[in-house]
Structure 1
């Protein structure tokens, strides 16, 4: 199967999964209702908000599916970039402390009783702060390997921020704040509206631009640094550009969805099985695969049990066994 056929197949599966997700849930909607409601919208007749089906469709299901597509695609692209930069399929966007930083920012905002918008801003700022601190420490470290310094700094800073989260959880009100903090850290799309997704899209687009424009250089980063430099690539600047872009993208989606782990680890590796390591084709395949993965997972999260399961729990159930299999098979090999 050609790469173009793979992309078209993934796009078709994504559309099919989105249509199924529109139909099923605690409140099922018939296909006829969807066609009628969308027909009215396309004909500019407006949406009948007195109808429960239309309210569920336009205010809940469609924004949630859009959020799943955007968050899944962004986390997968960020994971693909990190794995390419570090030449290791076992790394993910969490490696530089992005999730821990975003989590600390959001938890602090919840503890201070700030609004949802301010909580998202705190989460976004926390993710960027964590990676800035990691890069500063790695830059000052006296080591020959920048990659090793970044990984070790990420582990240390991530642990520090995680300790801060634990401290705030202990200090928070167990009857109100603690439950909100816990559910945010577990991740989910149940509170995301269309405005949240539209607010994150400019940051995601800004971060995606250098990954698309410089995607051919990612292939050169798969070589040893000396070989890449011999081919005319400024390894340090290119790697920093990719790190900033991937971090910005991760922070933007974590700010609206909470911490949804393992997507940036599992999906890029599955995409690599389909296409190989060529970043030029791996990037769009990872993007579509991540969107498809999160749409399917989110649909399962709200349909398999009477109570909605936090999305981060389901992705962990899938990601942890996958990670262990990779580790046993020797994940340090491309």
Structure 2
């Protein structure tokens, strides 16, 4: 028994180290690709010179600094952070609701964030204010869904989902009204482009400001891993083990909504990743949330870095990243259906 447990831990460690190595490789490849191509050795030499581990090259360091540090690195960091956050949020929703099709948009967060961003664009507000409106809209939509679910007594998982669907439908309708009323030559194109998602406008300062909050939210969900495992066995079983079901579910919802809303406020709408990445991670490490949540973060980061690299490399004009993730999400949804036939968790 001890030998089997040690082998399982060793296998999990190898998988995590492999995912970390794959993430580093994806980041290096993403740094090398673009309109001005760079080789991996050139990037490594530049990074070594910045870390005072190699002699600088004055003839090229300024150019490389502009391409790597000012343009590509913020996008890669943002893609990794947002991909990890949306994936962890999706895994937490799936565990909290015992639903393999749960995702960050389940309780209306995406619809509310879209409405908030569209309202900011209609009012001609700054980019920073737009992010605040999107975040507030996402959190407000989930809060409305929770209130609706509790209108007729203590909410269950089903009533929370239904409340989220009602809230999401309300904010989607409100967004349609804004699009109908928007200036078709100025405001409407900006709203449509934001809804398709993009990492082009993200700066390093924005990442440094939001990263601590998003990492703290993901860490909080990771700490809830074992209680979420108990909840996955059923509410009665979880209560029998002393787990406060309602507090746990609301805590997981709050943290998952928080990091999802922050992600959407930075990048716009990026779909599918919160559904696809947790299922792929579950294939690798199993259903235990103590392993699943960190693995989902790594898979999501790798996936979104790859998608953003495709978005800015496959055509002369950049393709909105939401389109790429939706196209790649189609085979992921087929995978979900295949697992659903065999059972889940």
1:20 and 2:29 matched: yes
Partners of 1:147 and 1:141 in 2: CA distance: 14
Relative contact order higher in (CA < 8 Å, ≥ 6 apart): 1
1:3 to 7, 12, 25: 12
Change over 3 Å in CA distance of 1:21–1:239 after alignment to 2? same
Contact in 2 for aligned 1:90/1:323 (Cα 8 Å): no
Partners of 2:116 and 2:59 in 1: CA distance: 39
Q: Please report how far the alpha carbon of residue 42 of structure 1 lies from its aligned counterpart in structure 2 after TM superposition.
A: 2.0
Contact in 2 for aligned 1:47/1:54 (Cα 8 Å): no
Partners of 1:46 and 1:213 in 2: CA distance: 45
2:134 maps to 123
Q: For 1:1-334, list aligned pairs within 5 A.
A: 2-43=11-52, 51-142=62-153, 146-327=156-337, 330=340, 333-334=344-345
Partners of 1:230 and 1:46 in 2: CA distance: 65
Q: What TM-score, normalized to structure 2?
A: 0.91
Q: Please report how far the alpha carbon of residue 330 of structure 1 lies from its aligned counterpart in structure 2 after TM superposition.
A: 3.0
Aligned residues: 333
- Segments of structure 2 that go 5 or more residues without pairing to the other structure are 1-9
- Segments of structure 1 that go 5 or more residues without pairing to the other structure are none
Contact in 2 for aligned 1:187/1:260 (Cα 8 Å): yes
Q: Please report how far the alpha carbon of residue 36 of structure 1 lies from its aligned counterpart in structure 2 after TM superposition.
A: 4.3
Contact in 2 for aligned 1:101/1:128 (Cα 8 Å): yes
Contact in 1 for aligned 2:75/2:200 (Cα 8 Å): yes
Partners of 2:329 and 2:134 in 1: CA distance: 23
Contact in 1 for aligned 2:279/2:336 (Cα 8 Å): no
Contact in 2 for aligned 1:120/1:255 (Cα 8 Å): yes
Change over 3 Å in CA distance of 1:209–1:194 after alignment to 2? same
Change over 3 Å in CA distance of 1:165–1:80 after alignment to 2? same
Question: What is the aligned-residue RMSD (CA, Å)?
Answer: 2.1
